[in-house]
Structure 1
Amino acid sequence: MPKGVSPVTPVLSFDQLDVPSELHSAFEGFKEPTPIQACSWPPALAGRDVVGIAETGSGKTLAFGLPALARLITSPPKDSKKSKGTTTVTTLVLAPTRELAIQTHDTLSALGAPHGIASVAVFGGVDKGPQIKTLKNANKDGKTTQIIVGTPGRILDLVNDGACDLSRVTYLVLDEADRMLDKGFENDIRSIIGHTKQGAERQTLMFSATWPEAVRRLAGSFQRDPVRVTVGSDDLTANSRVEQIVEVFDDTRSKDSRLLGHLRSHSHKKAGSAADARILVFVLYKKEAARVEDMLRNKGYSVGGLHGDMSQTARMDALQNFKTGATGLLVATDVAARGLDIPNVAVVINYTFPLTIEDYIHRIGRTGRGGKSGKSITFFTGDKHERALAGELARVLRESGFEAEGLKKFPMTIKKKTHSAYGAFFRDDIPTPSGPTKITFD
């Protein structure tokens, strides 16, 4: 066995999984564990720290959620039966966006409800008063709140207000760690971790799509001899099940007509008809999202919007309608590009190219999830910011086995990797002391 590779045996079938029988309902509808689940579950259930590197849509929520619930069922906190009005939080999940926090909370709540385990979601963009009230009055209906899922900024805000006690947290999850660091949450994360149990008393799991130096540094600071599970590559790669098509435009004014043509060709139904498969349209700016949404509605489509100018309630309603199929067409900014598990997204259309190639990969990862195939259609105009990314996009297409012929009219240079905080001086090749044990699952 190569040096640094752990002799962890993957769980290749659900029958091999040593968890309380009550949790087996979590497997309903699934044939077998995903690779990240198969390799993460054994060390996580054994109490080890874990770093999971895997593409979007790989089943990471259950990879960390199942061990958390198994731990709470088999070894409940000694003080979990406190009187009403007292919240005993032992599991904390940090997420980069409100939508991902809500999605993770919903999943863990559904799995924990039959066992009297409750979860609370806290996030910004809404009044924190109701969230404080929920935390103070969490233990009701026979359930004990032991899980908090939230965004770093709001969690730290509530901690500083004295409304959220993390001193009993022994199971910590950093989900989409690379995204949280890229959004500037590193100081908040470090402060939050300082309020939890320290050293051997805390199990820490970190999940990320990539393994840059910033993530390595964080893992080295707060984890103890972690097992690193890499599914595919440490670098961000496109979902191999997503067909990628790029259309190069000379005239941006033809985008609307081309978008309408794609909706017709994919047999997307207009308002008043059932929409079988969902289509997700990505744009770059909030005002652009509102304009495209209005244009589609004026053309007779039942369409929703998801962007930062909307209230949190409106965003949640739009996302829920899209998930259930009540609205089969959604126009969104990159707020919907990361982590969200939306079933039956048949096509992703990039109406406007994103600012980074990483965001492109995450956008198209909204389709082709759960082992299904998907399709992405990207409009590429060669505007200033797009032209600079043509070489990187061509590389992603070639690596996935798709044509990049139309992009050859642009410079094929590959930009130096940068970081939002460190700029062009960012290095991700600095070795981290005492690196984690690694499992690679190709």
Structure 2
Amino acid sequence: MPFSSLGLLPSLLHAVSEKGYLAPTAIQTTAIPTILRGHDVLGSAQTGSGKTAAFCLPMLQLLQDGSSTTPRASGTIRPNRPVRALILVPTRELAAQIGESILTTLRSMAEYRATPAASLKIATLFGGVSINPQMMAMRGGADIVVATPGRLLDLLDHNALTIGSVRMLVLDEADRLLDMGFAEEIGRILALLPKQRQNVFLSATFPPEVEALAEKIVQNPTRIAITSEPLAAPAILQRAIAVDPKRRTQLLVHLLKEHKWPRVLAFVATKYAADYVTEKLHRSGIKAAAFHGDFSQGARERVLAEFKAGALQVLVATDVAARGIDIPLLPVVLNYDLPRSADDYTHRIGRTGRAGETGIALNFISADTEAHFRLIENRHNVHCPREQIPGFEPVETVTAAPLIAADSNGGIKGRRKSKKDKLREAAAATISTPEQND
């Protein structure tokens, strides 16, 4: 089915073509016509499935009647442009990504033909940076606001904007919003929104608390569940490589030199591990950088820009990079440390194999993490044959009781260790003598 069959304007079809999209994804095929008809949507789909375009394209079409203004009343600071579309997201990276995607689409529309939609004003609001520039950006209002809940409430408290005229509300990655503790903030925001509005509710998973939130927001929604595709889709080749923990960095360096991958996103469990592995890669002559929650927003943007531009070969990241970051043409994702959650595994490897491209998802498996990885495989009904790389064959055996079950939230149950124990084990697994690792 081509994009032209979905009811989009010619200027939007031009923008789609400029982005290089050949055909709509499964969620786009259903969501775009549904949103254009004004219906609420309750959708779930794998990461990398094209959810952003699924709601942004019809949103821009519905707002294409121009950037209507509302005159200021005497003695008030009501913005000239009322906010007509509000997109709530869990992280600053996802907010920036969606904001940039909308701006790129508007620029393409303007190149095709002068349209009212091309003059829409977009504001991207998130924490971790000074609030003053964002307050300045909201002068005169904005047609579309992409925001994290906390920073949106800060700006509402400063009377920098109002949301009483919102026509469309989008909650993207709703499960992540709740995981990050935004339930109270979302409740406060909902109380300020008009009752009559269109709602788009998107979540990768639907545990009970997410279902409860959806019931408060959507009205007679069209349900879209893109879950039939197996995790091991042809676009992503998953591999499991057996290796002792102390030799993981050596093996990574070996693979980088052998395959000459231009970019690899490597996930680790802790901020300390991100910094330490990055330093070890530097000592091996690999251009690498860490990426974790202790970085300022400016530092995050700088590192990501360097990685996307090819100035860095390896980005060593915690799960802060597992969602909301789009890195075009990323060939390889590596689970240097396995994620605790089977759902996080999906989001991690979904950074590659996007937009019709192919990708490789590598997993380093040790004797102590073998049982954990089997649970992840069982959860997603996939199996990765265990590989051994000559010269890096593992010699260690299991030293701890295997993890034996998975909880309802996607986490792994079994023998629970204290936070201190986990930190000690992570450090011990990463630190070794120079003779072993250098």
The residue number in structure 2 matching 1:9 is none
The residue number in structure 1 matching 2:419 is none
Tell whether the 8 Å contact from 2:207 to 2:409 is kept in structure 1 after alignment.
no
Q: Quick one: distance in 1 between partners of 2:379 and 2:178?
A: 23
Higher mean alpha-carbon deviation, 106-115 vs 65-74, is at 106-115
Tell whether the 8 Å contact from 1:389 to 1:414 is kept in structure 2 after alignment.
no
Shift of 1:412: 6.8
- 1:145-160 alignment runs, 5 A limit: 145-160=142-157
2:321 paired with 1:336: yes
The residue number in structure 2 matching 1:36 is 27
Residues 368 and 361 of structure 1, relative CA distance in 2, 3 Å threshold: same
Tell whether the 8 Å contact from 1:280 to 1:331 is kept in structure 2 after alignment.
yes
Q: Quick one: distance in 2 between partners of 1:87 and 1:299?
A: 54
2:220 paired with 1:231: no
Equivalent position to 2:337, from 352, 363, 371: 352
Q: Quick one: distance in 1 between partners of 2:361 and 2:199?
A: 35
Residues 190 and 237 of structure 1, relative CA distance in 2, 3 Å threshold: farther
Q: Quick one: distance in 2 between partners of 1:309 and 1:259?
A: 25
Letter in 2 for 1:79: T
Equivalent position to 1:110, from 98, 104, 112: 104
The residue number in structure 2 matching 1:56 is 47
Letter in 2 for 1:317: R
Shift of 1:35: 0.6
Q: Quick one: distance in 1 between partners of 2:221 and 2:82?
A: 26
Tell whether the 8 Å contact from 2:271 to 2:293 is kept in structure 1 after alignment.
yes
Residues 219 and 316 of structure 1, relative CA distance in 2, 3 Å threshold: same
Q: Quick one: distance in 1 between partners of 2:249 and 2:387?
A: 23
Identity %: 37
The residue number in structure 1 matching 2:125 is 122
Residues 195 and 413 of structure 1, relative CA distance in 2, 3 Å threshold: same
Q: Quick one: distance in 2 between partners of 1:78 and 1:318?
A: 38
Normalised TM-score (structure 1): 0.81
Uncovered stretches (5+) of structure 2, i.e. residues with no partner: 111-117, 389-393, 412-438
RMSD: 2.7
2:256 paired with 1:263: yes
Aligned residues: 387
2:18 paired with 1:15: no
Equivalent position to 1:26, from 15, 19, 39: 15
Letter in 1 for 2:200: L
Uncovered stretches (5+) of structure 1, i.e. residues with no partner: 1-11, 139-144, 269-276, 421-442
The residue number in structure 2 matching 1:434 is none
Residues 100 and 146 of structure 1, relative CA distance in 2, 3 Å threshold: same
Q: Quick one: distance in 1 between partners of 2:283 and 2:309?
A: 23
Cα deviations by residue, 1:37-82 (Å, 9 ceiling, x for unpaired): 00111110000000111100011110000111001103x4643687
Q: Quick one: distance in 1 between partners of 2:175 and 2:56?
A: 19
Q: SS at 2:53's partner residue?
A: helix
2:169 paired with 1:132: no
Q: Quick one: distance in 2 between partners of 1:42 and 1:405?
A: 45
Shift of 1:318: 1.0
Q: Quick one: distance in 1 between partners of 2:22 and 2:178?
A: 34
Q: Quick one: distance in 1 between partners of 2:213 and 2:42?
A: 11
The residue number in structure 2 matching 1:68 is 59
- 1:172-211 alignment runs, 5 A limit: 172-198=169-195, 201-211=196-206
Residues 379 and 402 of structure 1, relative CA distance in 2, 3 Å threshold: closer
Q: Quick one: distance in 1 between partners of 2:297 and 2:13?
A: 34
Shift of 1:324: 3.0
Residues 419 and 278 of structure 1, relative CA distance in 2, 3 Å threshold: closer
Q: Quick one: distance in 1 between partners of 2:216 and 2:231?
A: 27
